[in-house]
Amino acid sequence: MKFRTLTLLITYKCNAECDICVFCCNKQKNDKMNLDDAYRYIDEAFEIESFENLAISGGEPFLFFEDLIKICKKAHKKNIPITISTNGFWASSIEKTSEIIEQLILLGVTSLYISVDQFHAEYVPYDCIKNILVVSKKLKIRIDLHSIITKNSLKLKHIVGKLEDEIMNYKIVQLPCVACGRAKEKIDENDFIYQDSIPVYKCTYLNTLVIDSYGKAYPCCGVTNRSKYFLFDNANKHSIEEIISFYNNNIYLKLLETYGTGWFLENIKKYKLDVKLKNKYTNVCELCGDLFSDDNDIEIYRAAINNEKQKMINKHELVCK
């Protein structure tokens, strides 16, 4: 596998406790990534040619602002483009927002990925987001806005109205809430926006290596799939090369990368495998979480995998002839 982005999820602590949060973040959590670990991840990852970008997320990474700045400084010394995900709670005034964003730009931060929707608005005033938009337009830093919705939540028309003229020339993306994490408990099942058919396409995030504050690594954004199939525990005790080697030798991941979820759905049906699936899904991430649930025997796909291996061997032999 060729990872392009290293994502450091530096904390699960957050000033908000949104009903839609896939990681169940809240302000009671006090975890924080060890700085020496963060530095080593950056050093080792960006010695590997395929890595191009650093993303920093949470939780809310700005809650540990000093550590955030130190991590950015480390990456900036290597000329690594940096993206930070945030809910924008810190942008309480134009002056404070300008001071923070100017500092981030000097440290190589090229974009901010900002959550703005009905659920985040319970904890972060729209004025904070407006301050970020005003300052960012002046300082020319990229802003990506995304809004999570359910059937009955407020949609983009409302959000855009709240942001008023400041939203001009910015792109905002509306995304359906994924039925996992706190959303699975707080959002009514009938309020999720389901796809018309079961998603069988490839995941677009398999080029992202995520390492969280506990040293757990995942080969995607890790929103729904944190199972034993793909979890690399104790990343803080192993090199990035060892982690990548683990994923390169992971047959489940290789099949997912090559064929997408469709291969697994086809073979569940063919071999009548005991994998519990729902009739509808919000997106491919939710489906992936069910395909590789910890409740499933890790060997459940073995017969199908062995058959796939033999097909590959036969194909190779035909080419050689």
Domain hosting residue 139, numbered range: 5-193
Lowest-pLDDT range of 70-74, 122-126, 310-314 = 310-314
Sort residue 24 into left (φ over 0), alpha (ψ -120 to 50) or beta.
left
Confidence at residue 163, expressed as pLDDT on a 0 to 100 scale: 96
Count Cβ atoms below 10 Å from residue 259 Cβ, excluding itself. Answer: 15
Residues β-bridged to residue 321: none
21 with 183: CB under 8 angstroms?
yes
The answer to whether residues 177 and 266 belong to one domain is no
State residue 319's pLDDT score. 52
Query: 254 and 189, same structural domain?
Result: no
Are 58 and 156 in the same domain?
A: yes
Q: Note the pLDDT tens digit of each residue in 80-120.
A: 999 999 999 999 999 999 999 999 999 999 999 999 999 99
Angstrom distance (rounded) from CA 83 to CA 72: 10
Considering only CA atoms, which of 91, 80, 75 is closest in space to residue 129? 91
pLDDT in the model for residue 86:
99
Partners of residue 174 on adjacent β-strands = 147
Taking only the tens place, the pLDDT of each residue in 51-63 is 999 999 999 999 9
What are the tens digits of pLDDT across the range 30-49?
A: 999 999 999 999 999 999 99
**Predicted local confidence at residue 300, as pLDDT:** 85
Can you tell me the distance from the alpha carbon of 6 to that of 211, in angstroms, rounded to the nearest whole number? Answer: 8
Does residue 219 lie in a domain region? no
- pLDDT 10s digits, 267-316: 999 888 888 899 999 999 899 888 988 677 777 888 888 887 787 677 75
199 assigned to some structural domain: no
Q: Among residues 171, 193, 215, which one ends one of the domains?
A: 193
pTM of the predicted protein model: 0.93
Mean pLDDT over each residue of the chain, to the nearest integer = 93
> Which pLDDT score, from 0 to 100, does residue 320 have?
52
In the three-class reduction of DSSP (H, G, I as helix; E, B as strand; rest coil), residue 155 is classed as coil
Tell me what pLDDT residue 248 has.
Answer: 92
Q: Strands (DSSP E) along 88-171, which ranges?
A: 109-115, 142-149
Helix (H, G, I), strand (E, B) or coil at 17: coil
Instruction: Give dist(CA 193, CA 26) in Å, integer.
Output: 25
Domain membership flag for residue 209: no
